[in-house]
Amino acid sequence: MASHGGQTPEKNKIGGLSRIQEKNRNLILDAALGEFSKLGYSGATVERIAAEAGMSKSNLLYYFSSKGAIYTAALAHILDVWLAPLKTLDPEGDPAQELSDYIRQKIEISAENPQASRLFANEVMQGAPQILPILETDLKRLVSEKSKVIRSWIAAGKIREVDPVHLIFTIWATTQHYADFSIQIKALTGKDLSDEDFKLETEQAVISLILTGIGLAVPGEPVHPK
């Protein structure tokens, strides 16, 4: 079926791809992430993505059959990274620690991959034409599962009685906001998550607000301000 660079196949391969294919696919996906996140699906052009990836448009279309295929691949490429942190919420752990870690992770990842964040946001805002099935199955299952964890903490009297799903939404909303709206953040504060100090300050503020919101004391903060 697919041999490479000579007669007999079975060499120079990484998961069925030649070195050249591996390299170029990655170049393309990186470039695509940048362009799609900057301008949205329609705003991005195949030519610019190709240029950004350092190759001709024709060559890019040799690796991906269409613009849509690039988009789908770029989205799939980031999706795991994007949804993974929630999986680490450990029912056995200390709620304050677990949730702090989760929020910190989300902010950290948002800060490192603002483009991925925007690509994801864009996709969802347009009705998630590509990933709706994933949201309805994998993500839904994951959220169900983690809601149960949170509910167990409530039942154990470890945190205040809150709706787990809304809690998760709030965490997502807040962390995404700092990445997706970074221009607005910067216009208003002069800084954004790329500033290390501001990132830490943001983590602290969000963690403090949410932990307090669910009835937990925040380490290093007075319990009663009054």
Partner DNA sequence: GAGAGATTTGACCAAATGGTCAAGATGTAA
Partner DNA sequence: TTACATCTTGACCATTTGGTCAAATCTCTC
Query: Given phi > 0 = left and psi -120 to 50 = alpha, else beta, which region is 14?
Result: beta
The window from 45-53, 149-157, 204-212, 218-226 that contacts DNA (CB under 7 A) reads: 45-53
Picking from 215, 218, 198, 193, the residue whose alpha carbon sits closest to that of residue 207 is 218
Residue 84 interacting partner from a second copy, DNA, none (CB closer than 5 to 8 Å by kind): none
**Residue placing its CB nearer to DNA in the complex, 58 or 222:** 58
Q: Does 38 bind DNA (CB under 7 A)?
A: no
Q: In three state form, how does the secondary structure of 112-128 look?
A: HCHHHHHHHHHHHHCCC
Residue 18 beta carbon to DNA: minimum distance, rounded to whole angstroms? 4
Residue 69 beta carbon to DNA: minimum distance, rounded to whole angstroms? 7
Binding pattern for the stretch 20-59 against a second copy, x by CB under 8 A and - elsewhere: ------------------xxxxxx----------------
* CA–CA dist 82, 109 (Å, integer): 8
Q: Does 196 bind a second copy (CB under 8 A)?
A: no
* CA–CA dist 138, 80 (Å, integer): 11
**Residue placing its CB nearer to DNA in the complex, 119 or 206:** 119
Burial 123-150, CB ≥16 within 10 A → b, else e: beeeebebbeeeeeeeeeebbeebbebb
Which of residues 31, 32, 44, 179 is near DNA by CB under 7 A? 44
Residues found near DNA in the complex (CB under 7 A): 2-8, 11-12, 18-21, 24, 44-47, 55-59, 61-62, 65-68
